Amino acid sequence: MNSNHNISTNTLYGDVSQKTLKQAKKIKLLVCDVDGVFSDGRIYLGNDGEELKAFHTKDGFGIKALGSSGVDVAIITGRRSAIVANRMSALNVKHIVQGQEDKLPALIELAKQLGLSSEEIAYIGDDIPDLACILHVGLGIAVQDAHPSIATNADYITFIRGGFGAVREVCDLIMQCQGSLNSATGSSI
C-alpha cells in the first residue's frame, strides 16, 4: 500500500487524504441522491397530501458553481417528485432520473451516454440504495449522517450532514482539486 494515500491535506472543510484529492481531480460528473443528501431526509406531508422538502441554498450555489466549472451534475433518486424536478431544473441539472429504486443501472447508462469511465464519476449518497453506486464510481461519498454501511464503504465522508450543505462541500472539494474554486460562479437560488 502506498503510504502517500494516508497523508492528508487541509481543505476548506478539514483534512482529506491524498487518495481522495487525486480521485476528486479526475471527476467530470457528480451524481447525487436527493433525500438525505440534498434534503435532511425528512418529508413533510400536509393535510391535503401535499409534499414539502427543504433544500439548502448553499447546495444550490455549489451545484451552479460546479456546473460553471465544467463538471456535469446528475441526480438519481428512488422517489418521484415534482418538487425535485423543479429544484433541479432551477439549478440547471440536466440529468434527472427519478423513480429508480435500483440506481446502479441508471448510473451505468448515464456514464455510457456521456462517454465517462467510472473513475470520472463521483456519487454522493446516504443509505443502502446508494451502496452499489458508491462502490462503482471513482469517488464514492457518504454524507456525515449516512447509514453506517454506507460510511464504511465510502472513499470520503462529508464533514457536513445531508441537507445542510454536504453537497456544497463536495462541489467545493472537486473544484478545489481541479483548480476552479476561486473562479466559481453561480447563485444561491
Q: What is the pLDDT of residues 73-118, one digit of tens each?
A: 999 999 998 999 999 999 999 999 999 999 999 999 999 999 999 9
pLDDT tens-digit readout, 48-63: 888 888 899 999 999 9
CATH number of the domain encompassing residue 27: 3.40.50.1000
Asked if residue 100 belongs to a domain, the reply is: yes
156-157 vs 95-97, strand pairing mode: unpaired
pLDDT at 188: 64
Asked if residue 3 belongs to a domain, the reply is: no
35-44, 45-54, 115-124, 161-170: least confident range: 45-54
Contact between residue 149 and residue 127 where contact means Cβ atoms under 8 Å apart: no
CA 7 to chain centre: 24
> What whole-number distance in Å separates Cα of residue 62 and Cα of residue 47?
33
- Percent of the chain exceeding pLDDT 70 equals 94
Domain extent at residue 73? 15-183
Choice between 41 and 109, residue whose per-residue pLDDT is larger: 109
Average pLDDT over residues 24-32: 98
- Is the pLDDT at 160 greater than 50, yes or no? yes
Number of domains in the chain: 1
Q: What are phi and psi of 62, to 5 degrees?
A: -60, -45
Q: What is the pTM of this model?
A: 0.92
Q: What does the mean pLDDT of the chain come to?
A: 91
- Is the pLDDT at 139 greater than 50, yes or no? yes
Asked if residue 33 belongs to a domain, the reply is: yes
- Is the pLDDT at 186 greater than 70, yes or no? no
Strands, E assignment, the chain: 8-10, 15-17, 29-32, 44-45, 51-52, 72-76, 95-97, 121-125, 139-142, 156-157
The model's confidence at residue 143, banded by pLDDT at 50, 70 and 90, is very high
Asked if residue 7 belongs to a domain, the reply is: no
Asked if residue 92 belongs to a domain, the reply is: yes
Q: What 3-state class would DSSP assign to 97?
A: strand
- Is the pLDDT at 146 greater than 50, yes or no? yes
Average pLDDT over residues 25-36: 97
Asked if residue 6 belongs to a domain, the reply is: no
Contact between residue 112 and residue 19 where contact means Cβ atoms under 8 Å apart: no
Asked if residue 8 belongs to a domain, the reply is: no
Asked if residue 10 belongs to a domain, the reply is: no
pLDDT at 182: 84
